[in-house]
Structure 1
Amino acid sequence: MIDVILPAPLLRLARVDNPVSLALEGEATQRHLLDALEARFPALRGTTRDRHSGQRRAYVRFFACNRDLSDASPDAPLPEAVVDGREPFLVVGALSGG
């Protein structure tokens, strides 16, 4: 099981609490993880990725194992610690201010 930590607005939208645990079939990649998340919680479709292009939304970042995975290929394997459940996959909304 892979644990996903979502920001509060997405938790409210999906009506769930953190962590969201997902079992993946096949390869453990960002694309497959986000596909599984959106399949389980259809209200989240289009919130982390553009519905048409599949590209990550500009103000959403992905982190795991103290690394920013936002610009990694969506088909790159997730870190082993995420796959075996030792570390969560974090979806983070951008922070701004001045």
Structure 2
Amino acid sequence: MIRILLPAHLRTLAGVSGEVMLEVGGAVTQRSVLDALEAKYPMLCGTIREHGTMKRRAFLRFFACGEDLSHEPPEALLPEAVGKGVEPFLVIAAVAGG
């Protein structure tokens, strides 16, 4: 099971509280995790990734195991601890302004 932590506004939209738990078949990558997330919670389509390009939205960041994975290729394997459910995959809302 993959553990995913979403920012509050996306948890509200998906109607969940706390972590989201998902089964991901095959390689555990950003793409496979986000595909599984959007399949289970279709209301999140277009909120984390752009509809057409499937690129990460500018004001969201991805973290796992203390590392910023936001600029990693979507096909890159996530850390083994994420695949085993030991560590969560975090979707973080970036803070902007000044």
TM-score by length of structure 1 reads 0.97
CA RMSD of aligned residues (A): 0.7
1:62 alignment partner in structure 2 = 62
Equivalent residues, number: 98
SS of the residue 1:82 aligns to: helix
1:37 alignment partner in structure 2 = 37
Report the Cα offset of residue 18 of structure 1: 1.6
Structure 2 unmatched ranges of 5 or more = none
SS of the residue 1:92 aligns to: strand
Report the Cα offset of residue 96 of structure 1: 2.2
Q: Structure 1 stretches (4+) deviating beyond 3 angstroms?
A: none
Structure 1 unmatched ranges of 5 or more = none
2:71 alignment partner in structure 1 = 71
TM-score by length of structure 2 reads 0.97
Structure 2 CA distance for aligned equivalents of residues 96 and 32 of structure 1: 28
Percent identity of equivalent pairs: 54
